[in-house]
Chains A and B, each alone.
Chain A
Amino acid sequence: MNKEQKLWWEQAKSDCAVFVLLRRAGVHECHMLHYLQMAAEKISKAYLWRSGTAPPRSHVGLMRFLQALLSRGLSRKERQRIAKIFDYARPEDMTAWVRQVSPLAHELQNLAPDLSNNGPNTEYPWPHENPAQCPALHSFALWARLRDAEPGRRLVKFIEKAIQRFEQYA
């Protein structure tokens, strides 16, 4: 792990710890989603820093991270090792799961205000020019899918695991 990765990882751990506190407290959904999105983005960037160059500044983290973890550019042995770290017997099993969960991962990363297309986001009332709704009073369909279905719960656990086990695959 290089020093840049270490810094992004530390921030990811801190964001994730806040997310877990908020998740257990049951505060407004926007806050739980905000911290989950931030934790996911930061662990993604921590991983992408392994090349030694800065990843894009924008919120493109989680999907790119999942794709990078399963990259065909990695050796079979390395992909096997990564799959095992994430509790999959084979890289193909992990790939299948990532494919299944991609819509949720996309939705999560698109909650950031600059990717939300002036619609529902976790921070600011929308639309910007003529606010009609605010995050705190909004019921996010994504949160219901993360909480009420196994694939969603598994994505939450995956993000937490990715942060806890980062040293093993960084």
Chain B
Amino acid sequence: MSAATFNRDSIAETYAKRHKETDPAIRAIHYLPTGAPPNEIRLVEVNGAITGTAGPEPIDFGVEFGTPNEHKLIVFDVTPEQWERIREGTLPLPEGWTLKGSREIRSRKRK
């Protein structure tokens, strides 16, 4: 299987769905593919349950090492207030990240 079969958008949606199911405090998940390496998934997760005074910092996880779907997942957890500041441009995203081309991954409504 070639690297071209790795479907980043689809895997990002799978993560977003799973994270929302796992963590009810999530308000929104934004997917930021612009400028990311092909096998890197960048998510900003807006979470209403974050406490503490620390500034947000991303955490990265390697996934499926040694398989055709090997990729890196990076999650940037922020409070709703921090997300507003990011949108306003007063709180920076991690270096190299951009909101350009980003989209919110919403849960599909059940019929």
Is A153 in contact with B59, judged by CB distance below 8 angstroms? yes
Interface of B is mostly: mixed
For chain A, the bracket of interface size reads 20 to 34
Known: A26-B70, A148-B18. A153 touches B54 (CB 8 A): no
A76 CB–B CB distance under 8 Å: no
Is B75 in contact with A153, judged by CB distance below 8 angstroms? yes
**Segment among A62-70, A87-95, A124-132 that sits at the interface with chain B:** A87-95
Is A26 in contact with B59, judged by CB distance below 8 angstroms? no
The proximity string for B residues 74-97 relative to A, scoring 1 for CB distances below 8 Å and 0 otherwise, is 010100000000000000000000
For chain B, the bracket of interface size reads 20 to 34
Kindly report which residue of chain A lies nearest to residue B65, judged by CB atoms.
Answer: A26
Is A87 in contact with B52, judged by CB distance below 8 angstroms? yes
A153 to B62, CA, bound (A): 14
Is B54 in contact with A150, judged by CB distance below 8 angstroms? no
Is B62 in contact with A145, judged by CB distance below 8 angstroms? no
Is A147 in contact with B61, judged by CB distance below 8 angstroms? yes
What residues on A are CB-neighbors of B25 within 8 Å? Answer: 150
What residues on B are CB-neighbors of A154 within 8 Å? Answer: 50, 77
CB within 8 Å of A: which of B23-77? 23, 25-26, 45, 47, 49-54, 57, 59-65, 70, 72-73, 75, 77
B107 to chain A, nearest CB (A): 15
11 A-B residue pairs with Cβ-Cβ distance under 8 Å, sorted by A, are A23-B60, A24-B62, A25-B62, A25-B65, A26-B64, A88-B51, A93-B51, A148-B22, A148-B23, A150-B26, A150-B49
- Chain B residues close to A by CB (< 8 Å): 15, 18-19, 22-23, 25-26, 45, 47, 49-54, 57, 59-65, 70, 72-73, 75, 77
- Chain A residues close to B by CB (< 8 Å): 23-27, 86-89, 93, 96-97, 144-145, 147-151, 153-154, 156-157
Q: A149-B23, A150-B45, A150-B77 are in contact. List 6 more A-B contacts (CB 8 A).
A: A26-B72, A93-B52, A97-B51, A144-B22, A145-B22, A148-B23
